[in-house]
Amino acid sequence: MLASDVMSTDFFILDPDVPVYQALEPVWEHRRREIPVVDGGRFVGVLTMRELIHRALPSYIRDDRHFDNLTFAPDLRQLGDRLQDLGKSSVREAMSREVRTVAPETSLLAVATALIRDERKETRNVWVVDSDHQLVGQISEWEVLRHVFQQLDFA
Amino acid sequence: MQSPAHGGGSEAAHGAGAALFGLDPFWTATALFVASYLIIMTERVNRAVVALLGAGLLIVLGILPQGTAVAGIDFNTIGLLTGMMVIVAISRQSGVFQYLAIKAAKWSGGRPWGILVTLSVVTAVLSALLDNVTTVLLIVPVALLICDELEVKPYPILIALIMASNVGGTATLIGDPPNIMIGTQTALTFNDFLFNLGPIVPLIFVATLVPLYLVYGRYMGASEEGMARVMAFRENDAITDPGLLKRSLLVIGLVVVGFVGHHQLGLQPATVAMFGAALLLLLYTVGLSPDAASEKVHEVFAEVEWVTIFFFVGLFMLVAAIEHVGLLQMLADYVLEATGGDFFAASMAIMWVSAVASAVVDNIPFVATLIPMIKSMLPAFHEAGLGGVESSAIWWSLALGACLGGNGSLIGASANLITAGFAERAGHPIRFLPFLMIAFPLMLMQVAIAAVYVWLRYF
């Protein structure tokens, strides 16, 4: 099985020069975690919900691996302020550029491996890009498992 | 000038190795030593790498015999540092340090100047018991969070925390790397440090707060809502693992008792720390499956700052090399001559030179070099007659100068740089020159107090 067999072609595309809050409006109802950003037909990055929250946290909390329990602290007004700033910034400023891409003919083994590696990376999905840097598909754990399970006989 | 290559300790250097490439051992060792220190100062190459490369070259060139190099590594310093790092790596998972910082902030009623004082006290006390870098790594994030809740600029509090960590670390044998090295390489005990340095440290701490109050404190204010948010912190929720907390406190208690009694027990502080670390590792993993326990032990050891440990290893070998070729003896003779053999003048010179040098460069290599040098000067002072003065006065001068000197500039101590790194990432950078303008005069004041103390108490 290849990347092109399992990939989903049903995804939103964002324009990099639109403000984040505006770009997300049509997306909210669809509960997407990661949305690709395409500039003049070229795949340039991914806007992720996780990274927006990550960037809204103060650096001393975000970078400190011993600061993972914050149940002792009251709410921080800055969190809302910073999310508002992020919402006003352009998609290009807020997106992640470090994305995992594979070619359509990549094996499922390689796709599955790429999916579970580097849990701390900003984006989790694998993006299928053809030889002209055109985005052709999106693969998450969901696509991989659904395709494989549908072919297996559990009866 | 005497010819150092023919001095007492250098016969071995004339062996087969020294003939290699026909290099003069004295000048080669000196050049490599100075080059290593200069490269360490530029911070362009990792300091542990530089120290190990320099030491390796000296051994390969046949200038420093391997046996002498290994004998030069002070395993008491290494063991004490490693043991304490392991103990902190485990105990901090209980959340106890965040608990202490929040508790302290709430004692002040949430007022900014009060928070500055109470957090500084906690930092100073923790620095006296733990490594300074560890202490600021634990306290600074909580301080930044408190400042954000208060909606005040963290700058004055961070400066106070830097000062508190360096001043507090001065008080004990285990508080600061210079003290660890002095303590493990002389016959001075934990209690000697506590009784000789302990009394002056609180005075220096309070004296430091006065100018900080005049410059920053009286202008510090926060809104009622901000103070209420600080008071709304629930410190008990910071304790994530009460069971681990109890076990950690038990072991830390035993280790402190071990330090206080190490001399009577005939134990080195390193033994106490490593034994405590092993005991806490056992208590931490007891009851887990062998696989899970191994993984936890592995994670804890991975948290030891190996760069620091190997930096010490390389550094001790470099110092062993210049001792071996006679450079240290030569420097010691020079200092003796310059001070006319006067013990008080030598002590004061060492304190002030250490303070200024520690503000400019890392105090660890500086002190590592000075310790064997002072050791070789002591017999001459004894010969000249100390007039009833304890010879340990010179060690207290070195400790006070080197530890307090770290306050003098942003690059004076690792704790300063770590705090500045946090501040920078949080969007409140601490710049070199503005820090220097306040820190250098404060450091001079601290050393002046220390100098008066040493003079009154020992001379």
Q: pLDDT digit string (tens) for B182-238?
A: 998 998 999 999 999 999 999 999 999 999 999 998 889 889 999 999 999 999 999
Per the structure block, which two tokens stand in for A87? 């919402």
Mean pLDDT of chain A: 90
Which helix (H) or strand (E) segment holds residue B31: the answer is: helix B25-42
Contacts 24+ apart (CB under 8 A), B88-91: B88/B130, B88/B131, B88/B134, B89/B300, B89/B303, B89/B304, B90/B244, B90/B248, B90/B280, B90/B281, B90/B284, B90/B300, B91/B244, B91/B245, B91/B248, B91/B249, B91/B251, B91/B252, B91/B280
**Residue A53: is its pLDDT beyond 60?**
yes
Which helix (H) or strand (E) segment holds residue A44: the answer is: strand A42-48
Size of interface A-B (CB pairs under 8 A): 50
Per the structure block, which two tokens stand in for B130? 């733990």
Length of chain A: 155
State the average pLDDT over residues A34-54. 92
Per the structure block, which two tokens stand in for B174? 């285990």
What are the residue ranges of helices labelled H in B361-409? 363-384, 393-405
- Interface contact B144-A60, CB threshold 8 A: yes
- Interface contact A78-B426, CB threshold 8 A: no
Residues in chain B with pLDDT values less than 70: 1-22
* Pair B292, B99: CB distance under 8 Å: no
Higher pLDDT, B277 or A70: B277
CA angle (B179 as vertex; B173, B181 as ends), nearest 5: 110
Name the residue among B369, B267, B263 with its Cα closest to residue B315.
Answer: B369
- Interface contact A61-B141, CB threshold 8 A: yes
Best of A54, A55, A60, A67 to mutate (most B CBs within 10 Å, chain B): A60
pLDDT in tens, B290-327: 999 999 999 999 989 899 899 999 999 999 999 899 89
Q: Under an 8 Å CB criterion, which residues of A touch B?
A: 58-61, 63-64, 66-67, 69, 71-74, 76-78
- Predicted pLDDT of residue A70: 87
Q: Tell me which residue in A61, A67, A73 faces B233 most closely, judged by beta carbons.
A: A73
Burial of residue A101 (CB within 10 Å: 0-12, 13-18, 19+) is: middle
- Spatial separation of the C-alpha atoms in residues B258 and B96, rounded to whole Å: 22
- Spatial separation of the C-alpha atoms in residues B361 and B413, rounded to whole Å: 8
- Interface contact B141-A73, CB threshold 8 A: no
Helices first, then strands: H and E counts in chain A:
8, 5
Decide if B98 touches A, using CB distance below 8 A: yes
Q: How confident is the model at residue A120 (pLDDT cuts 50, 70, 90)?
A: low
**Residue A130: is its pLDDT beyond 50?**
yes
Best of B139, B142, B424 to mutate (most A CBs within 10 Å, chain A): B142
- Predicted pLDDT of residue B12: 43
Residue of B nearest to A57 (CA): B426
- Spatial separation of the C-alpha atoms in residues B357 and B336, rounded to whole Å: 19
Decide if B149 touches A, using CB distance below 8 A: yes
Our CA-based measurement puts residue A56 at a distance from the nearest CA of chain B, in whole angstroms, of 12
- Predicted pLDDT of residue B1: 38
**Residue A118: is its pLDDT beyond 80?**
no
Q: Tell me which residue in A58, A66, A67 faces B426 most closely, judged by beta carbons.
A: A58
Q: Which amino acid is at B222?
A: A
> 3-state DSSP call for residue A2?
strand
